[in-house]
Amino acid sequence: MSARSRTAEQAEDGAGSWKASLPCSKAEAEALQEDISPLALLDEPPVLMSSEPDPARPDEWRLDAYFAAEPTAEMLAMLQALAPSSAGAAPTVERVEARDWVTLSQQGLEPIQAGHFFVHTPAHRDKVPADSIAFEIDAGRAFGTGQHETTSGCLVALSKLKDQGIRVSNLLDLGTGTGLLAFAAMRLWPTARAAASDIDPVSIEVTEENAAINQIRVGRGPGHVELAVAAGLEHGRLRQRAPYDLIIANILAGPLIELAPSVSKALEAGGRLILAGLLDSHAGAVAAAYRRHGLMLGFRVQHGEWPTLVMRKRKSLGWR
Ligand SMILES: C[S@@+](CC[C@H](N)C(=O)[O-])C[C@H]1O[C@@H](n2cnc3c(N)ncnc32)[C@H](O)[C@@H]1O
């Protein structure tokens, strides 16, 4: 996940054209958000961005600083001071074409491979491996480019369910963000009916755009995804479409626990539930909340400190 010291909107206003980069640790990248370095006091402070180029190397992050003019040696020294772990390595400095900062930051989003899926930004269209299910997702206004461990954990969980021979005919991606997880499930089970919902209307706009880019059909029937702006299952269509045989919810531990009664109720007996957005320390409480509603843990996918839980509703309880 990228951490930014300024928002994307602020960054878009910038018109600078020099980029300085150096390796940093995850802790240094996270500290950037509250950065109070002397760089912030410059007349034209650089836009700072951090990224995790390779999720398999979770402590090897990169710090990029976008300057409006060629950075002086003094500015580069201030930058180095933000990443002591780089052990004095000189930052690389390059001239970049004048484009908006959001686009620049997305260039740093390397494609990810998770389970059967390959997720990339438009900058990496030419890198799609022949044997993957590929999605083009532009980082921007919604969460879910595949970079975060919670999203990639869900992609792996979906792939495992498919490999286990699980059949899915009616699915819901609750808290869809960019739409990626709904699209991924639809590619694995192409005849399923799908719904994708989010409490944030912007996410649903973005999902609609991403559906068009990735040739996903929006609508109500088999092989289509129906979109809804909704908090949890508080939407007539989402309730009418229940019971689902697969629900994916990558939200956060707190909302997942609050939603346990309604999400469990919307799941068909024998149906699968993929839960993410929780840290290791929350996994026990989240699983317990769903166990109280007749679900049991099937398996767990662990990406970094973020577990993805795959649960199944007991058949004997039936649809209540
Ligand atoms: C961590 S992002 C996950 C996005 C995407 N599903 C993924 O896996 O990358 C969580 C998303 O859930 C949405 N969300 C949070 N609380 C929600 C709720 N109570 N009901 C529906 N959506 C919610 C947020 O707006 C956000 O888009």
Beta strands per DSSP E along 72-223: 92-95, 112-114, 117-120, 133-136, 170-174, 193-198, 217-218
Beta bridge partners of 225: 194, 218
Query: pLDDT higher for 210 or 15?
Result: 210
Residue 131 buriedness (CB in 10 A; 0-12 / 13-18 / 19+): exposed
Which of the listed CATH numbers 3.20.20.140, 1.10.1040.10, 3.40.50.150, 3.20.10.10 matches domain 113-313?
A: 3.40.50.150
DSSP 8-state secondary structure symbol assigned to residue 234? -
Q: Ligand 1, residues 117, 143, 225: which to mutate, most atoms within 8 A of Cβ? A: 143
Domain boundaries, the chain: 3-108, 113-313
**In this predicted structure, what is the pLDDT of residue 320?**
40
Residue nearest to atom 1 of ligand 1 (CA): 251
Atom of ligand 1 nearest to the CA of 145: 9
Atom of ligand 1 nearest to the CA of 198: 22
Query: pLDDT higher for 46 or 230?
Result: 230
* CA–CA dist 152, 55 (Å, integer): 10
309 three-class SS: strand
DSSP 8-state secondary structure symbol assigned to residue 124? G
Q: Which residue has the tokens 């702006």?
A: 229
Q: What is the ipTM of this complex?
A: 0.99
Residue 46 in contact with ligand 1 by CB distance below 6 A: no
Nearest to 49 by CA among 36, 62, 68: 62
User: Could you tell me which CATH number the domain at 3-108 has?
Assistant: 3.30.70
Q: Which residue has the tokens 């509703």?
A: 313
Tens-digit pLDDT profile for residues 123-163: 888 889 989 999 999 877 778 787 889 999 999 999 999 99
Atom of ligand 1 nearest to the CA of 276: 8
Nearest to 243 by CA among 294, 307, 202: 294
Residue 229 in contact with ligand 1 by CB distance below 6 A: no
Residue 207 in contact with ligand 1 by CB distance below 6 A: no
Residue 238 in contact with ligand 1 by CB distance below 6 A: no
Count of Cβ atoms closer than 10 Å to residue 280 Cβ: 11
Mean pLDDT for 192-203 is 96
* pLDDT of 103 over the 60 cut: no
Torsion of CA 226, 240, 232, 179, to 10 degrees: -10
* pLDDT of 9 over the 50 cut: no
Distance of CA 11 to the CA centre of its chain: 21
Q: Which residue has the tokens 């369910």?
A: 161
Residue 144 in contact with ligand 1 by CB distance below 6 A: yes
Residue 153 in contact with ligand 1 by CB distance below 6 A: no
- Are residues 246 and 172 in contact, defined by beta-carbon separation less than 8 angstroms? yes
Distance of CA 10 to the CA centre of its chain: 22
> Angle 180-188/149-163 helices, nearest 10 degrees?
10
Tens-digit pLDDT profile for residues 237-253: 999 999 999 999 999 88
